[in-house]
Amino acid sequence: MFTYRARAAGLAAALTVVTAACGAAPGTQATTQASQGGVNAATATSAADFGGFDKLVEAAKKEGNLHVIALPPDWANYGEIIEKFQAKYGIKIESETPDAASADEINAVKTRKGQDRAPDVLDLGQSFAISGAAEGLFAPYKVQTFDKIPEGQKESTGLWVNDYGGYVSIGCDAKKIATCPTSFADLLKPEYKGKVALNGNPTKSGSAFAGVYAAALANGGSFDDIQPGIDFFKKLKDAGNYNPVETTPATIEKGETQISIDWDYNNAAYAPQMAAKGIDWKVNIPSDGKYFQMYAQAINKDAPHPAAARLWQEFLYSAEGQNLFLKGFARPVLMPAMTADGTVDKALAEKLPSVEGTPTFPTSAQVDAAKAKLASGWDAAISG
């Protein structure tokens, strides 16, 4: 994900971590597992190419493994999603470096080509999904629910498909902060000196990038103009309010990040975790800068476990998978369709942080331009 993922150490330890030492020689795993029963799993574009969903399951079980990176267990409920998939299909998920970024995922696809420790699937910030597809790194695949996914939320052949998303929000330790901020304008107040953190570096982190984009919208910018967001964080730093510590559950618990700009599903998920530790973590979607973004799924074109990779996608875009994202306070891409057909978990939907209005989205060209502007201007703004 074009982001660093916060990590819950206990859950992360429960997942299998694959280290660099276990890589096979290039080509060994992918070659032996690409074809199963006369079906070339590596080129299958739908379950129909396997002879139906049951045959896809059969092929995936024969492979027996799925290799993922950059999936923190406390991010959008990935810990439970991984557990449910393993239990349902008997396929072992090897989860490596859960706190990695989207850039790391793309780099792993390129540098581990032909190795069994290459990532089978990717969960990416949108700009990385678009650029990765343009570089020819992904395999086209249409899940069974593909036609229900709104236009604009998917590449037409399934090279990438948006899956879940959320709004930029402001989390706050209400026991340490007398009045929690509810807008970007509030964050400049002197009482927040040294308190305002981001979840990562915005040149690498999707959530931090979104925080700067939201700040731009709050300060006269637009999807075509992220510069006011960069200027805002320079003001925040000059005022002494910017805190360079990257937010994780551990930094919140230690009081190192008492105010955090992050996705609402991350901040909302922190609230019950922190309540158990005596911390009152409040979440507000800023009134002056509403920014919503989806994250995308993609399949590595050279996935060492191509059938399992496709089954993973089917699981994520099933009603079960989408409701599991919802359980993690993320807004699943199929929520409108599931609301219409009655498969959405209404109790979970009611727990989402409230927000008014309909989200709008920047185009891929606007995101690319904003990313380039940020890359050239962020370090100077923060270090200057």
Query: What tens digit of pLDDT does each residue of 200-250 get?
Result: 889 888 889 999 999 999 999 999 999 999 999 999 999 999 999 999 999
pLDDT of residue 126: 83
Q: Which domains does the chain have, with CATH numbers?
A: 44-165+293-350 (3.40.190.10), 167-291+363-382 (3.40.190.10)
Measuring CA to CA, how many Å separate 262 from each of 136, 141, 211?
A: 31, 31, 7
Q: Which of 155, 153, 117 is nearest to 139 (CA)?
A: 155
d(CA 341, CA 373): 42
69 CB-near residues (< 8 Å, 6+ apart): 95, 96, 97, 98, 100, 104, 105, 108, 119
pLDDT lower than 70: segments of the chain: 1-37, 384
pLDDT of residue 14: 32
pLDDT of residue 35: 56
Measuring CA to CA, how many Å separate 249 from each of 180, 230, 255, 274?
A: 18, 26, 10, 8
pLDDT of residue 36: 57
d(CA 82, CA 211): 28
d(CA 30, CA 300): 11
Please, are residues 102 and 2 in contact by the beta-carbon 8 Å criterion? yes
* Helix residue spans in the chain (DSSP H): 9-14, 28-33, 53-63, 78-89, 102-111, 126-134, 206-218, 227-238, 249-253, 264-275, 306-316, 319-327, 335-341, 346-349, 364-383
pLDDT of residue 373: 96
Burial label, 29 (beta-carbon count in 10 A; 0-12, 13-18, 19+): buried
d(CA 80, CA 117): 22
pLDDT of residue 360: 82
